[in-house]
């Protein structure tokens, strides 16, 4: 994704700790306190400008949502959406997901969404893919048995890689695969997805759940 740097982004983010939660490692096990209820919490890794989570948070007020995004100029757009339309069941984390297993306690997150993650097509970049075995091991540390990861992409290379990665993992089981997710009436689209559907691309979808075999 080409990024336009926005110099004021960092300061705006720091000015709004009520929406972009600072020091997420210190919040491990405390996310229900942040939301002030015991509702389930779902998480989008690489949430971009936040369209998907805004839609879900509005449609499901009894569920809480967290978005993680590593670029300040991108998460700024999600924050601006929240400032325009405050949603008490949505929070953001400005961080690299490399440390994601340190942000959440086991069982604290009910479901993870990986939407249109960067494909990183070169072999030497594979470790950056959010479905690389190293990332799956991190998700497995805080997801517990029966909790899900849903992945969507229009990139067949990333899709097949992810399918193999989940299948090879002792921690996850592939439950559902859909090669035309755009036709599913329950599909909630993301910012990138809207563009890809407009271009005529198919949307590939995977639903997996956590198997409690190893940890």
Binding site for ligand SAM (CB under 6 A): 1, 46-48, 68-71, 74, 96-98, 115-118, 130, 190-193
Q: Which of 96, 110, 118, 178 is catalytic?
A: 118
Phi, psi of 115 (to 5 degrees): -105, 115
* E strand spans, the chain: 41-45, 64-69, 90-94, 111-115, 148-153, 172-178, 204-210
Q: Least distance in Å: CB of 36 to ligand SAM?
A: 26
Are 45 and 100 in contact by the 8 Å Cβ rule? The answer is yes
Nearer to ligand SAM, 23 or 98 (CB): 98
Give SS3 for 147. coil
Nearest residue to ligand SAM, using CB?
46
Q: Least distance in Å: CB of 209 to ligand SAM?
A: 21
Tell which residue, 39, 74, 43, has the closest CA to residue 56.
43
Distance from C-alpha of 5 to C-alpha of 151, rounded to nearest angstrom: 28
Nearer to ligand SAM, 92 or 208 (CB): 92
CA distances from 33 to 3, 28, 29, 160 (A): 34, 11, 9, 38
Respond yes or no: is residue 118 known to be catalytic. yes
Nearer to ligand SAM, 16 or 70 (CB): 70
Q: Least distance in Å: CB of 71 to ligand SAM?
A: 5
Q: Least distance in Å: CB of 126 to ligand SAM?
A: 13
Long-range contacts of 194-197 (CB under 8 A, 24+ apart): 194/51, 196/116, 196/154
Catalytic residues: 118
């Amino acid at each position: 994704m080409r990024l336009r740097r926005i110099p004021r982004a960092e300061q705006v983010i720091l000015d709004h700790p009520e929406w972009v939660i600072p020091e997420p490692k210190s919040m491990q096990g405390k996310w229900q306190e942040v939301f002030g209820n015991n509702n389930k919490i779902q998480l989008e890794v690489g949430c971009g400008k936040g369209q998907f989570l805004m839609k879900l948070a509005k449609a499901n007020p009894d569920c809480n949502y967290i978005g993680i995004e590593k670029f300040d100029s991108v998460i700024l757009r999600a924050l601006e959406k929240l400032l325009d339309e405050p949603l008490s069941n949505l929070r953001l984390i400005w961080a690299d997901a490399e440390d994601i297993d340190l942000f959440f306690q086991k069982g604290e997150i009910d479901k993870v969404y990986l939407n249109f993650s960067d494909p990183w097509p070169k072999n030497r970049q594979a470790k950056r893919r959010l479905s690389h075995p190293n990332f799956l091991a991190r998700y497995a540390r805080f997801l517990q048995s029966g909790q899900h990861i849903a992945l969507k992409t229009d990139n067949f290379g990333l899709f097949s890689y992810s399918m193999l990665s989940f299948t090879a993992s002792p921690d996850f089981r592939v439950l559902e695969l859909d090669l035309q997710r755009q036709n599913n009436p329950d599909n909630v689209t993301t910012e990138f997805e809207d563009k890809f559907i407009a271009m005529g691309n198919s949307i590939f979808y995977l639903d997996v759940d956590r198997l409690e075999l190893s940890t």
